[in-house]
Amino acid sequence: MGLFYINLCNFAAQQPEVTEEMRSWMSLLKNMQAMNEEDYRKQEGIFRELMDECRIEKLDTMEKENYEKSILEYEDVREAVEYAKELSFAEGVEKGMKKGMAQGVRNGLLQAAANLLKMGISIADVVKATGLNEEEVRELKAEN
């Protein structure tokens, strides 16, 4: 790891290529000497990130390669899990829609059969008209 001296006073944070994250880092580094304990707690994530980067930088070449490989493997697994979640959600929605539509059709047939029975149509004719079985039509007639 090399040591660099950077004069942050000379940085122009208004340049278009300077990201918000870079501005945060510059501000943190510029004002570090004036920070109190509460300020450090507020910036804990940034310091943790800095410490992680320092730890990674101290690794030898083989360790860095293994670390980077493990990060890539982790990302691959995470993306595969996300894809599987999205796929299973889509399949669940599709199955739910089909089931709901089938139930809606069945409810419509039962309602039509009940209406036909109220009109005095015979059980045999209601079975023919709706495609329901005779037992279902008899149960409907008994309910009404």
Q: Where are the alpha helices (DSSP H) in 43-60?
A: 44-58
Q: Given this model, what pLDDT does residue 102 score?
A: 94
Q: How confident is the model at residue 116 (pLDDT cuts 50, 70, 90)?
A: very high
Q: Given this model, what pLDDT does residue 55 score?
A: 85
Q: How many Å apart are CA 68 and CA 13, to the nearest integer?
A: 31
Distance of CA 71 to the CA centre of its chain: 20
Q: How many Å apart are CA 77 and CA 83, to the nearest integer?
A: 10
Regarding predicted confidence, which is higher, 38 or 64? 64
Backbone CA torsion sign across 74, 75, 78, 84: negative
The CA–CA distances, whole Å, from 85 to 82, 92, 93, 100 equal 5, 10, 12, 22
pLDDT in tens, 11-55: 665 666 778 777 777 777 777 777 777 777 777 777 788 778 888
